[in-house]
Structure 1
Amino acid sequence: MTVSTRATGARTGLQTAALATGGVFLLVGVVGFIPGITSNYGAMGMAGHGSRSLLMGVFQVSVLHNVVHLAFGVAGTLLARTHQQARSYLIYGGVIYLVLWLYGLLVGDETPANFVPLNGADNWLHLALGLAMIILAILLSPRTTSRRSRERDLNA
C-alpha cells in the first residue's frame, strides 16, 4: 500500500481526524474571545497566571492561550491535506500537549512561570488531548486509503 501525498481526492480517516481536531481547536480559540462563553472576560490578560478569564467557567485562558488554540487549529486544517502530514500533526501535536500537561503540573497555577496560563482543569484536558491525538494517529495510520477508494477497489 502506498500513501498519497496529493492534496486532492478522498480523505483518509487520519486526514479526517486531523481536520476535525483542527476544527475543534479553531472553535475553542474563537469562543475563548466571546464574552459570556468566557467568564470574567474583562479580566483576560495578554499572558501569564494573572489572567482571570475562564472558558466555560472552567479553563483558564488568556489572549496567548486563545491564539495558541487558533494556531493549532490552522495547523490541523492545513496539515490534514495529506495522510503523512495529518499523522505528523496528530503525533507531534499530541506530544506538545503532553509536554504542556507536564509543564502545567510542574510550574503550578500561581507562579510567574505559568505564562500560558494553565489551571488544574487545563492540565488534565491537555493530558486527555495529548493521548487522544497520539492514539488517533496510531490507530488510523495503517488506513492509507479512503473508504470510497476501498469500495471502488472491491467493486472493480
Structure 2
Amino acid sequence: MSQRNATRTYSAVQIASAAVGAVFLLVGILGFIPGVTTDYDMLAGAGHHSGAKLFGIFEVSVLHNVVHLLFGVAGLAMARMARTAQLYLVGGGIVYLALWVYGLVIDNDSSANFVPVNDADNWLHLVLGLGMVALGILTPRIVRRDNTGSHPLR
C-alpha cells in the first residue's frame, strides 16, 4: 500500500499573501501592547483623539488595531488558493492606496480622521499599497514541478 505525499506546495503568491497577512496580524496584536504602543493610556476606540502610537510613530486606535487583525486573518485565509491570494494582495493594495489618498486630503485634526492616520501612516500606506499590488501582479500563481513531481526548489 503506497502512501500519498502529504506535503502540499504553495505558489509564490500564496506565500506572499500569508506573509503579508501574518505581518498585519502581528501589527494588530502589537497595537494592544503597552510599551510597543506609546501613550497606551490614550488609546481611543476610534478617531483622531487617540494619542497612542505604535512604535511611537504610527497613530493607532482600537478600530485601527482591529482592522489590522481582520486584514491579517483575511490574508491568511485567502492564501489557501492562488487566485484568492492574488485578489487579497491586489485588492488590499488598492484599499491601502485609497487610504493613502484619503489621508492626504483630510485634515488630520478633523472628525474625518476616524481611523486615525498621520503623515507616517500616510507614507506607510503608500508603500504598503504599491508593494501589495506589485506582489499580487508579479508573483507567480503556479507551482512548477519537474518530471519527478518534486518541488524545483528542494
**Structure 2 CA distance for partners of 1:108 and 1:150, relative to 1, 3 Å:** farther
Q: Cα–Cα, structure 1 residues 55 and 153, in superposed 2: closer, same or farther, change >3 Å?
A: same
- C-alpha change, 1:56 and 1:71, in structure 2 (3 Å) is same
Structure 1: runs of 5+ lacking an equivalent: 1-7
Quick one: which amino acid aligns to residue 145 of structure 1?
V
1:28-87 CA-to-partner distances (Å, cap 9, x unmatched) read: 000000000000000010000000000000000000000000011000000000000000
Whole-angstrom distance in 2 between the partners of 1:151 and 1:122: 47
Shift of 1:110: 0.8
Structure 2: any 5+ residue segments left out of the alignment?
1-6
CA RMSD of aligned residues (A): 1.7
Report the CA distance between 1:138 and its aligned residue: 1.2
Give distance in 2, aligned partners of 1:119 and 1:109.
7
1:85 is aligned to 84
DSSP 3-state at the match of 1:76: helix
Aligned residue pairs total 145
After superposition, the Cα gap between the structure-2 partners of 1:46 and 1:14, relative to the gap in structure 1 and judged at 3 Å, is same
Counterpart residue identity of residue 29, structure 2: V
Aligned to 1:73: 72
Q: What is the identity, as a one-letter code, of the residue corresponding to 1:100?
A: L
Residue 59 of structure 2 aligns with an amino acid whose one-letter code is Q
Q: Distance in 1 between matches of 2:91 and 2:146?
A: 28
Aligned counterparts, 1:133-144, within 5 A: 133-141=132-140, 143-144=141-142
Based on CA coordinates, which of the two structures has the bigger radius of gyration? 2
Whole-angstrom distance in 2 between the partners of 1:49 and 1:13: 38
Question: In percent, how many aligned pairs have the same letter?
Answer: 52
Q: Distance in 2 between matches of 1:73 and 1:95?
A: 16
State the distance in 1 between where 2:110 and 2:20 align. 30
**TM-score, normalised with respect to structure 2:** 0.89
Whole-angstrom distance in 2 between the partners of 1:151 and 1:109: 57
**Equivalent in 142, 145, 152 of residue 143 of structure 2:** 145
Distance 1:111 1:138 in 2: 36
Matched, 1:15 2:53: no
Distance 1:125 1:76 in 2: 18
1:24-43 maps to which residues of 2 (within 5 A)?
24-43=23-42
Deviating more after overlay: 74-83 vs 101-110: 101-110
Equivalent-residue separation in structure 1 for 2:132 and 2:110 (angstroms): 28
Task: Return 106-115 or 58-67, whichever deviates more.
Answer: 106-115
* Cα deviation, residue 151, structure 1: 7.3
